[in-house]
Amino acid sequence: MTTTVQFGPYLAATDLAISSRAVVGPKGSIQLADLPALAKVAPFSTLDPSVTEPLRLKEGGASSVTVWTKSGNAEALTQVTFAEFDNKLSRNMGILRVDTLRATVASAVAATGNAQLTIVVQSAQEAFAAGLAAARNWPTFDKKSGKKAADRTVYIDFHVTNGEQVNFAEIQAVANGIRNTQRYVDMPPADFNTIHFVAEAKRVAESLNALPNKAGNVSIEVIQGEELRDRGFGGLWGVGKAGEYPPALVILTYEPTTETSKTVALVGKGIVFDCGGLSLKPSTAMCGMKTDMGGAGAVFGAFQAIVSAGLTNTKVHALLCLAENAIDSKSFRNDDVLVHYSGKSTEVNNTDAEGRLVLADGVAYATKHLNPDAVIDIATLTGAQLITTGKIHAGIVSRTESAEAAMLAAGKVTGDVCFPMLYAPDLLLAEFKSEIADLTNNVKNRMNAQSSCAGHFVEAHLAEEYKGEWVHVDIAGPSADAKTRGTGFGAALLYQYVKNF
């Protein structure tokens, strides 16, 4: 079964074959007698008086209730679920508890059949975060066999208590980008290798250029296989040359038709599967490594959202650094020295610290040739990120407080929350000291802010003449959930950063 998620104004039951409805809001928001807008979902005249009091879902009472009601003149009964989520917020949790909202929506919306979901929010800004959180509940990739339920649509609207108008088109564009990112992360590496990823990028570029009323043009360049080696991309070629399918650097560009003086480059780590290379992971740590392309997935999803929403304030480059870290007679080795596109050399002392090697080439290319005002790199880079900022918050490293603040603000608005990590290259780059190369690729002391160290490794490959903003985003924790399903984390974050830039 495939679930389509469609945002728009409320649709009456007579408009569509809707078999269930759900109303979700923060605790204390769902009291039928005080919220006339909810009467559109469950008119008082059709409700048994005995259910009126339970519907008040007051503090300390039930958190959800399900009733069956008639809508209008329809003969069939419609399932209606009212549910509230805990919205207690600490200062690092954004404008809405998107984690509890998402879980509440998952349980409140019926599993099959067309459904209408109304989310109670206080503002249009909250509606944006709430809609994106809700949309993550229905990932699109599934290879299960057997009889499946019919495809269905979940229609989502909002009751905004301050009366602000909701930009449904923007929410739809960003939600689609998130759900596409989820799909890319969920797909097994046999179905989404580097060749597939490149083909998908070409297909999407063509479809974006075919959008009606588009606000700009999309172009694509692919540097692939031995061309990477010949043009000096030693990190990307070194990591990916042993894979069955060739590594690639994909450069997607969106240029608005209206003149703009600003340019942002988004660079994503796209390791389609990571066995660790010759520094082989144990089997218990290898399952789930299809998700190691979550950074490239986020960049790709954000790019689609930016173009589909018609942002015109910034020219955008999306760089996808694609490779498989595999074992073969051609595998790069510990003790090898790789020469990057930046011109700097890296002595390999851990082939399982490969993500930074491909990102290094990506940011070097961006800052040498694309003239960006900001470079954002994003990756499932270090397990230490979870220790540093947890499972929900991405860890960010930035050379300026202004860029750090902008990324934190984008996270709070979208629900892709972040928290800053230490920025101290003067202290931490010493962890990569090599006797024979400019850097090693792994820290000497794993107890010395290693997630920040990894960010500084990438930063070291920015062009020396580059003076713009730079933010490193480590999404090792939030990119997948406890079931190893992609969350789409990062797509909305990057979209909002670009929108606000």
Last residue of a domain, one of 112, 146, 166: 166
Last residue of a domain, one of 147, 166, 185: 166
Asked if 210 and 100 sit in the same domain, the reply is: no
- Single-letter amino acid code for the residue at 2: T
Q: What amino acid positions are annotated as catalytic residues?
A: 281, 356
Asked if 185 and 105 sit in the same domain, the reply is: no
DSSP 110-132: -SSS-EEEEEEESSHHHHHHHHH
Q: Note the pLDDT of residue 65.
A: 73
Overall domain count for the chain = 2
Q: Note the pLDDT of residue 16.
A: 65
Q: Note the pLDDT of residue 42.
A: 47
Q: Report helix, strand and coil shares of the chain as percent, to nearest 5.
A: 35, 25, 40
Asked if 286 and 144 sit in the same domain, the reply is: no
Q: What is the DSSP letter of 78?
A: E
| Token reading at 484 | 């190893």
What residues have CB less than 8 Å from 318, skipping those under 6 apart? 250, 251, 252, 253, 254, 266, 268, 299, 300, 302, 303
Q: What is the DSSP letter of 282?
A: P
3-state secondary structure of 175: helix
Asked if 200 and 329 sit in the same domain, the reply is: yes
Pairing label, strands 115-121, 20-26: parallel
Q: Note the pLDDT of residue 79.
A: 80
Q: How far is CA 108 from CA 10, 37, 111, 322, in A?
A: 18, 19, 9, 39
Asked if 162 and 260 sit in the same domain, the reply is: no
| Parent domain of 98 | 3-166
Q: Note the pLDDT of residue 419.
A: 99
What residues have CB less than 8 Å from 348, skipping those under 6 apart? 238, 332, 333, 334, 335, 336, 337, 338, 357, 440, 441
List the CATH number of the domain containing 11.
Answer: 3.40.50.10590
Asked if 202 and 295 sit in the same domain, the reply is: yes
Asked if 92 and 238 sit in the same domain, the reply is: no
Torsions phi, psi for 471 (to 5 deg): -135, 135
The H-or-E segment that residue 144 falls in is none
Report the b/e string of 114-124 with b at 16+ CB within 10 A: bbbbbbbbbbb
CA dihedral 96, 97, 99, 104 (to 10 degrees): -100
List the CATH number of the domain containing 194.
Answer: 3.40.630.10
Report the b/e string of 248-277 with b at 16+ CB within 10 A: bbbbbbbbbeeeeeebbbbbbbbbbbbbbb
Closest alpha carbon to 93 in 481, 492, 495, 393: 393
* Cβ 374 vs Cβ 265: under 8 Å: yes
Asked if 332 and 203 sit in the same domain, the reply is: yes
In angstroms, the CA 337 to CA 333 distance is: 9
Each residue's pLDDT, cut to its tens digit, for the chain (501 residues) gives: 899 999 999 876 555 688 888 989 998 777 654 444 455 554 444 444 444 444 444 444 457 777 666 655 556 667 888 888 999 999 999 999 999 999 999 999 999 999 999 999 999 999 999 999 999 999 999 999 988 889 999 999 998 989 999 999 999 999 999 999 999 999 999 999 999 999 999 999 999 999 999 999 999 999 999 999 999 999 999 999 999 999 999 999 999 999 999 999 999 999 999 999 999 999 999 999 999 999 999 999 999 999 999 999 999 999 999 999 999 999 999 999 999 999 999 999 999 999 999 999 999 999 999 999 999 999 999 999 999 999 999 999 999 999 999 999 999 999 999 999 999 999 999 999 999 999 999 999 999 999 999 999 999 999 999 999 999 999 999 999 999 999 999 999 999 999 999
Asked if 207 and 296 sit in the same domain, the reply is: yes
Q: Note the pLDDT of residue 69.
A: 66
Asked if 151 and 196 sit in the same domain, the reply is: no
Asked if 107 and 215 sit in the same domain, the reply is: no
pTM of the model: 0.94
Q: How far is CA 317 from CA 218, 301, 428, 459, in A?
A: 10, 13, 29, 18
Asked if 228 and 111 sit in the same domain, the reply is: no
Report the b/e string of 359-376 with b at 16+ CB within 10 A: bbbbbbbbbbebebebbb
Q: Please state the three-class secondary structure of 224-238 as a single string.
A: ECHHHHHCCCHHHHH
Last residue of a domain, one of 166, 191, 214: 166
Q: Note the pLDDT of residue 33.
A: 42
